[in-house]
Amino acid sequence: MTGFAKGRYLARHADGPEDIRAAQRLRYLAFHGPSGPGLDQDPFDDICTHILVEEAESGRLVCCFRILPLAGGDEIGRSYSAQFYELSALASFEGPMVEMGRFCVDPEARDPDIVRVAWAAMTRYVDDNGVEMLFGCSSFKGTDAETYHDAFAMLAARHLAPRRWWPRVKAPSVVEFAKKLRRRKPDAKQAMLRMPPLLRTYLLMGGWVSDHAVVDRQMNTLHVFTGLEIAAIPPSRKRLLRAVAQ
């Protein structure tokens, strides 16, 4: 993917350490709050490609994420997600895969076009590189699972992973929402209000999730493993994404 502009925004690859530090500062702000000039960083930053979305006029960074390409499922153990989920079922996936992680938007930026441009950048990368599956961890802010019972109940009822790719429990602290909430009828409005924007987009495209959420106290989140087979995206949704990516 080369850089491209769409409306008020420019999406591009990070170009050197200064760009990566800018992404790490935005991630800290988004994930930890404005408590200091911290950096959100980990060893995966060194092996990932970082994508930045900026205001074209001002250069202000408003969104970022990182991607880790894998040749196939036999490399799934290299992924960030594999620290938290037992992913051996995905080892048999034969096509190119990409882990999408640390997706965040500046808390002060509320324009929905920002997320659209970010997904357009991802669409370009997928098309240019023949990617057949996207995956990653979709995070809910905070670790109070009761706050998200309607969202989790909807995931359990409609969006669990296919059995052939089933992510199993690995992390020491998890919320097994599919078991706990199997009899709960979700309030659809509340479920969607509580669903993270990134996860909503995955689900609209046919994505699926693990049957449990990992309690990540370091990041102060609950997260679910999320997968999306590119071939399963509805044609109408593909057309919309590619229209933005032009």
- Domain ranges in the chain are 4-245
* In the block, residue with structure tokens 């969104």: 63
Please tell me the distance from the alpha carbon of residue 16 to that of residue 14, in angstroms, as a whole number. Answer: 6
Does the reported pTM lie above 0.85?
A: yes
pLDDT digits (tens, 9 = 90+) for 224-235: 999 999 999 998
Q: What is the pLDDT of residues 2-44, one digit of tens each?
A: 578 888 999 999 999 999 999 999 999 999 888 767 999 999 9
Between residues 217 and 240, which one has the greater pLDDT?
Answer: 217
What average pLDDT does range 188-214 have in this prediction?
95
Chain-centroid distance of CA 214 in Å reads 15
Closest CA to 48 of 118, 84, 86, 98: 98
What is the reported pLDDT for 1? 52
pLDDT tens for 64-108 read 999 999 999 999 999 999 999 999 999 999 999 999 999 999 999
The CATH fold assigned to 4-245 is: Aminopeptidase (3.40.630)
Supply 174's token pair: 């998890």
* Nearest one of 195, 67, 45, 157 to 121, comparing CA atoms: 67
pLDDT of residue 208: 98
Residue-wise pLDDT tens digits, 139-183: 999 999 999 999 999 999 999 999 999 999 999 999 999 999 988
d(CA 163, CA 125) in angstroms, rounded, equals 28
Q: Is the dihedral of CA 200, 201, 203, 204 positive or negative?
A: positive
**Closest listed residue to residue 51, CA positions, set 13, 21, 105, 89:** 13
Tokens of 48: 């990932």
Hey, what are 50's tokens? 């970082």
Q: CA-to-CA distance for 145 and 37, rounded, in angstroms? A: 29
